[in-house]
Structure 1
Amino acid sequence: MKVSYAGIFLTAVMLAAALPLHAEISLGGALRNDFLVMKPTNNQANFNNTLELKLVFTRAAEEWKFYADARISLYAGLITNITQTDLGLNLLRAFIRYYSPAGVITLGKTYMNFGIRGMFNPFEMVKNVNFTDLNYDLEGMIALTWELGFDELSGLKTYVRPDPALSNSGGGLALYTHLGTFDLGAIYNRKAYDRNVAGVYFKGDIELGVNGAWAYHFDDYGTNRFNEANLGLDYSFFDGKLILALVFYFDETGAENSSSYNPFSTVDKYFKAKYYSYANISVVFDEFFSMQADGFFNMIDGSGLAMPQVKYTLSDGLSVGALAGIPWGPDKSEFSPNTSGEFSILGRFEAKL
């Protein structure tokens, strides 16, 4: 059983002391069950079931707000004839926010987002891709943040993340503004010891949506340096009921052939190769039924992963869905069925509280 005792203690202290006693506590969240079946190349199917309860606590006064997002999960699976079970309790967020005349100040476990949110963001704090839910909430960090708006469309945001090892502490600053039909920004972020990144990003509309970012990574001594960039396009049809999106991604440290792949995961990396593309097609038929297809393509070894999915809303806050994972590629490629399995199918039930 995995439990974040420090997170539970932090939440209790902040909830008890942060706000006036007359402020009411509201509770929300969701209950979700995912049943996943995978077929590896040995023809021996693996499966697992994950039941997750999301609990969101909020307590707000005129100038103050407390927010906490806790996840209780129960996992059970059969992988290569070995039964595994796990009960987990994790705290993704727990912070106090103060809306002052000098800006918005946040203290606690929060997530600092830099750049344009979306796939292959070079400024993302945590570059983990959850293939069963590309929009799954990322876990926050203990930090103090401050955001100040110069006007409605421009401002700055900054954070400081302490660490017991002082040299491993983090902090960053982002400046953003709006020019014509474009949002523009510049960023510097020290993630941790020897992990610095600086760069720019943009997002706008010129008949079709376009966005991009360039990031320059360097260590504390300026000896280990590399570039990272993305370029995205999107277009919507039929009043937004059909959306097409495409993203190209470059990582200078990525391998140029499959024989050079690093078998171990490394920090500040999404995948293994130098060039990737990502595509998304979303179709909304009505208020109940929608379809979506996501695809990742490794432009070095020719492998890829297609993920079609459907979702049906049974009633307000109650939905069911299905997601398939279909990999392809030659042997020893990144998404090869020999390593990723021949296919996977996920069934999902979700009820919002």
Structure 2
Amino acid sequence: MKKFLILLLAFAMVCSLAACGEQNDNSIKNNTQPNQTPQPSNTPASNQSSMGETDITDTIEFDASVSWAGWSDDPKIRELALNKDTFELSSARHIPIYKCDTLEELNEFKTTFSGTFTMDGTWDEVPSFEEVTADYTEDFFIENTLLLVYVEANSCTPRFGVDSVSKENGTLSVHVKYTYTPEEDDSAMAGWLFTIPVNNDQIQDCTNFDAVVVLEQPPALTVVSDETSVAALLGTYSWQQRNIDGIITDIRADSPHPLDCRDLLSPPLETAEATAALRFTQNPDKIVSIQCWNDSYWSMPSADGENMIFNGNTIELKSGGYIYEVVARWDDDNGYGGTAHYSFYITVE
């Protein structure tokens, strides 16, 4: 697809430790909570240019509600989704979408997933699926269709909202984004169902349906060891965003070396375990590398790092105090993604 490319070359070079800065939806209709993600240790600037053309994308008006569904690894969640063929193609950010054209189909959905999703349960301020869908009648389905999107997370604490619903080349896409990413997550898996009514006239020419979690910035990383967790510090990153009109925005930001951020990385996470788990709010497509430095090298950014052994999202820790840096990559197939550096400080007793 031809597209405009706006290149934002941002290099906010920070020369002192103090300049590291502080680190750190529920959606009714399309209104979301303010973005409360931890602030990275970098501040990109921008310089714009454009070239090329973009295909026309139609935006569909929507009125979305969210309900609590709980987490499940039931294979039929994906097997019965309209976009089941997308899950193995590339990025894991495709999420299941379903469509109910009649009240009978809505009730059938509830019956099919009654042992999979928590239909009558709530979580904090999030209502149950039964409550959200209680007012849908046969009259509603005369002119409307109900889209259902399931999104899961590694924690109960993040929040999501429907960012947009668009139509392009016969494919309707629902874009879900993080509206709140906590500095530290709990360890409980979670899941939500978005209910999105749309008018039949708006989707009559749609032959495919898809839903994706869009990553407007690098996901947060929490490091867990011995039932204790610490939020990693976001450092240098290169990121891509795709606007609803198809325009691509590239953001590049530089950050101080981890060894120059002692104040932000202290105190260390203390553990007696030999491993730690990396819990991203959205798992990367690849962990590129992990290296570490002994804490005797604070304020010595020219010191050589030691490459670490890791298996998936689990890393082997070294005895004593070490500063670790993780480089992870998210594919940008759907217009969102890039590479990000994270750092954290751990002492193994």
**Bigger proportion of residues as strand:** 1
TM-score class normalised by the smaller sequence: under 0.3
Structure with more contact order per residue of length (Cα contacts < 8 Å, sep ≥ 6) = 2
Of Structure 1 and Structure 2, the greater helix share is in: 2
So what's the TM-score if we normalise by structure 2?
0.22
